[in-house]
Amino acid sequence: MIQRWWEISVTCQAAAEEVVYWRLQCFGCEGVATQQQQGRILIQGYVPQQQITLLDIAALGVWIEQDVVAQGYLPPKLQWQLVNEQDWAHSWQAYWHPLPVGDRLLICPAWEDPAIDEQRFLLKLDPGMAFGTGTHATTQLCLEALEMQLDDTFAPLPPTVIADIGCGSGILSIAALLLGATKVYAVDVSDLAVIATQRGAALNHISPEQLVVAQGSWEQVPEPVDGIVCNILASVIMELVPQWTPLLKPKMWGIFSGILLEQADQVAAVLEQQGWSLGSVWRRQEWCCLNARFEPNAYG
């Protein structure tokens, strides 16, 4: 039986992206894609047909408009249609092509065969309905931050175990392993994200021992780690950070994104309260990435 999905499309000001994304996630959208459109942004969320009704979508439209207008942005435009899963998958092929990120990565759709670039690691991806293709500013910031953290130019990289909290398509987990990490625990509450991450591991010839994927949150990570990468919503990061005590090691690093520029101070304050020392804030468009190190004695 062909699986059908409601495709819910929201066109809004780029600065309202996180507000809309958060509402779609709360609504139950398991995959979200974004496209820039001449100063505005198109956000598309996908929900299995059997889970919601047209009345639910109508209510969602009211909630999104209230959320966006309350933040001082122009009212968004919402549309919806039913699509087959394979039709949605084909839409990726129309606009997603190989993308160099940072100095060492080339993100490539699974269906394309790019020219060999010996200076870059080829990361093949078929995200399906999961979030994360490398085109979004927050994903690119995290990939570049991982490249910095895993740089072995001046000294061999020691064994490095990482936790990817909210892994989406698995792009950050796979990139970390290609860049030299020893092992990554990738967790996400979405079963579609788990499937996409496992598929990405197979595409890039990564073993289940290297990339351990589980459905859920940080509780699925069974040991302290050397680094954490977390590219989700700012509100969720602030909620989760105080819970991470079982994962922490002194001097471990953290990469945090999915954060709007105006939210950076608030997220940084929560991190510092929990023993993290902020190293740098990287910015792209209206988004930022916080690079931090866990130093529990730095703030008394």
For residue 181, the model assigns a pLDDT of 98
The pLDDT value given to residue 92: 53
pLDDT at position 229 over 90:
yes
Paired sense of beta strands 161-165 and 99-101, if any: unpaired
**Distance separating alpha carbons of residues 20 and 101, to the nearest angstrom:** 26
Question: Is residue 31 pLDDT above 90, yes or no?
Answer: no
More confident residue, 260 or 101: 101
Q: Where are the alpha helices (DSSP H) in the chain?
A: 17-27, 54-70, 85-95, 137-149, 171-178, 191-203, 234-240, 264-273
End-to-end Cα spacing for the chain: 59
pLDDT at residue 300 above 50? no
The yes-or-no verdict on residue 299 having pLDDT over 60 is no
d(CA 192, CA 162): 21
Greater confidence, 5 or 216?
216
Q: What is the mean pLDDT of residues 273-294?
A: 94
CA distance 21 to 29: 9
Cα separation of 220 and 76, whole Å?
A: 37
Report percent pLDDT > 70 for the chain.
Answer: 92
Location of structure tokens 């991806």: 125
Cα–Cα distance for residue pair 247/165, rounded to 1 Å = 11
pLDDT given for residue 40 in this prediction: 86
Q: Residue 203: which region, alpha, beta or left (left: phi > 0; alpha: psi -120 to 50)?
A: alpha
Per the model's pLDDT, the better-predicted residue between 47 and 256 turns out to be 256
The pLDDT of residue 176 is 98
pLDDT level of residue 274 (50, 70, 90 thresholds): very high
The answer to whether residues 197 and 126 touch, using CB atoms and an 8 Å cutoff, is no
Query: Which residues does 1 contact at the CB level (< 8 Å), separation at least 6?
Result: none
Higher pLDDT, 154 or 270: 270
Q: Which residues pair with 108 in a beta bridge?
A: 124
Q: Are 61 and 78 in contact (CB under 8 A)?
A: yes
Q: Name residue 139's amino acid.
A: T
DSSP states along 110-153: TT--PPP-TTSEEEEE--TTSS--S-SHHHHHHHHHHHHHT--S
Instruction: Give the percent of the chain with pLDDT over 90.
Output: 56
pLDDT in tens, 35-85: 777 778 888 888 888 888 899 999 999 999 998 998 889 999 999 998 887
The per-residue pLDDT for 47 is 85
